[in-house]
Amino acid sequence: MASLKHRIAFAAAGVVTAAQAATIGLVLYVAEGDAEARAMERLAIGSRVVADYMETHKAQLELTVNVLASDFAFRSAVASFDLPTVTSALRNHANRIAANQAILVGVDGFTIASAPRHVELSREVWKDVVDSRTTLATLGDTASLHQVVVTPVRAPDVIGWVVMGFRIDDALAVQLRNLTGMEVSFVSRRADETYASSLMPSANGLHDRSTSFFTRVDQLTNDGVMPQLLLQLSRDDALAGYYALSRSMMVLGALAVCFAVAIAAFSSNRITRHLKSLADAARRISAGDYGSPVAIRSNDEVETLADALSTMQAGIAERERQIRRQATHDALTGLPNHEQAVTILDARMRDGGAPFAAIVLHIHGLHEINSSLGLEVGDAVIGSVARRLAHEVRAENHIARIADNRFLVVSEERDPGAIEALGARLRDEFEVLSVGGDIQVGLSLQIGVAEFPAHARDAATLVRKAWGASLEASTTKGGMAFFNVDRDAQHKRRLTIMRDIKAAVLDDQLSLVYQPKYDVRTDRIGGVEALLRWHHPTLGAVPVTEFIEVAEQTRNIGRLTRWVLRRALAQASGWRQRGMQLTVAVNVSAHDLTDVDFPQYVRTVLAEHGLSGQTLELEVTEGALVYDLPRVRRTLEALHALGVRIFIDDFGTGFSSLAQLRDLSVHALKIDRSFVMRLDEGNTHIVRSTIDLGHALDLEVVAEGVEDEIAVNKLISWGCDHLQGYYFAKPLAPDELEAYLARSMATVSHLPVRRS
């Protein structure tokens, strides 16, 4: 195969001596400019190739990160502020997609959780990241550049953002060099830092933009660290043909001018035509068209370059095909993943397809197999499950793997009996599963079913409802549950409470009512218990037991306790200024008693309102005492030092021991209302024994739930110190309580209480 330089040398042989000087100067000038233009064109092509690679990588990352953000369990963990579960999910997902950093950012822009290391995003970085959704940014330190993907977590509103960072390092730069055939570097224009480079440290060419390399500089972003892409092509390699031409023309300078001009024109025209074809092919590839071959037959280096470009085109097309496949299918089973299943079902629903049932199979035992037998056996089990499902389910039905241990079956069959028969057959099929060799494992199924269009008209909602039904299946006899509208409404109500409980504190949706406590010894109302109420804008009055349970699960109970303390003590201060010397009792949780800052907060609020510790009584359930006994003991001692009195609430329903009662800094027992409201023979013994026990331990005793005169007389005769209940007054608003005390002249001697 004749080389380009040989053809040009042969053409130069015809140049006549008379035109030697002019011809050499003109040809060398044109050749140098052409070589430099080709070098810059190669750099432009390389720039587009790098951009395509980064964009393709971005699309892959967005798809995979969206899987995490849309995962129900993960969204629930975020909504409930379950930081251990969120951190674990971030770490696992980061490992799965080879991300260097995973971060959950709250709607306020502050980091909630991150893995594998803790990273706090600066306000500047977070603004750049969230504005662009996908950008290049530094995470944690200025020496590491990351490609960042941001996806909102919705439940259904945005409750946070998942940020995934993939470090741009030397390995990526080398990979891009192998792809483009030129040196690739990522640098910072602002700080003049090098984040990644394919150049060896000794090459000394990274910032040499004029002597050794042709250099192209692309500004990647205009925000944050303002990173730049440097593409560098060796001048010696790019101008090798030009240097060869120069030597040939010097040697063959004596050839005739006319012959040289004719041959050179012919060769130049031919080369230019092929280069234009290559440039058109490069532009087509950069636009994403990989179907047209790059076919040039010239038996020279241009044909070699065309073949190389064709090979690169095929490689990029294959990688994109694999990326699209990985984004839509489970790598282990080859089945559609959750996102693809939703896409398929949405298309089926839009086309007005026939009704169908979505069946979620929740397979128990997989995690235990992974832990005990290893991941290889666990993967083999997953593959065997997928094959068994394909064998058992009819061909016209769809199968997808939508989570680690959940499969989706879409069945044309809607008859409940037929679906139950299918579920029973599958449960029997997986009771004993052979996994190669002599290994047999046992699995159990929880099956949830939801129907289109009866239960949902979009795929995501339909799958979610079938998923929820599979969770309920654990409580059914046959391990199968159909979607229940009432249960879904309860779930939505709980999510609403989780979402709005913080706003309840900030938007003043909470209020306090106060129930009087009658002091038997002084025959007066000596104190009140502050009781929390929440009137939700849409749900109306929310039962206190309901939102307190949610607050404890979402770690918001401390926020509620502090709001109640501040509001109740402010009210007590106002009463004392008007001459009403009332103590105020506030309920606290186990979380409050293990908070090392809680005693100091109580001290601060008391001081703000000019109150002594004797004004405040804190009521603690028995269960809170055993939550973390050493820390609880320290907290109670600190509160005791402030003069705050501690009451054990709902006594008789927990598991506290006499040793704990003796050793802890408590002042009184409150007998649970369930015993007081029904003083039959059994409860009478319990109540009297509790009063005697409290007095034996030098503790006061309070009976709550007192509703009639008979109970009042019995409790007084048994020596109970304080009484509380509807017999005296229901929980009252502050103005109602003041009117009540005014009517009774601060005494309850007008009540029909028989003194014995």
| Residue 564: predicted pLDDT | 95
Grouping H, G, I as helix, E, B as strand and the rest as coil, residue 143 is coil
Of 59, 185, 67, 184, residue with least CA distance to 134: 59
Q: Residue 705 region, left (φ>0) first, then alpha (ψ -120 to 50), else beta?
A: left
Amino acid 755: pLDDT: 40
Predicted local confidence at residue 748, as pLDDT = 43
In DSSP terms, 632 is beta-bridged to none
Note whether 494 and 155 are within 8 A (CB).
no
Within 329-374, residue ranges assigned H as helices are 338-350, 366-373
Residues of the chain short of pLDDT 50, as ranges, are 1-6, 8-9, 11, 13-16, 202-205, 207-210, 746-756
Question: Which residues contact residue 155 at a Cβ distance below 8 angstroms, ignoring those fewer than 6 apart?
Answer: 75, 76, 78, 79, 495, 499
Q: What is the DSSP letter of 726?
A: T
Task: Please name every residue paired with 359 in a beta bridge, in sequence order, or none if there are none.
Answer: 409, 449
Instruction: Give burial (CB, 10 Å; 0-12/13-18/19+) of 199.
Output: buried
C-beta of residue 101 within 8 angstroms of C-beta of residue 164: yes
Which pLDDT score, from 0 to 100, does residue 20 have? Answer: 67
C-beta separation of 199 from 233 below 8 A: no
Q: Are 220 and 128 in contact (CB under 8 A)?
A: no
Strands 183-188 and 480-482: unpaired
Q: Domains in the chain, please, with CATH?
A: 60-236 (3.30.450.20), 338-483 (3.30.70.270), 494-743 (3.20.20.450)
- pLDDT, residue 745, reads 57
Can you give the pLDDT at residue 252? 64
Q: Are 620 and 649 a contacting pair, CB within 8 Å?
A: yes
pLDDT value at position 561? 93
pTM: 0.47
Name the β-bridge partners of 450.
358
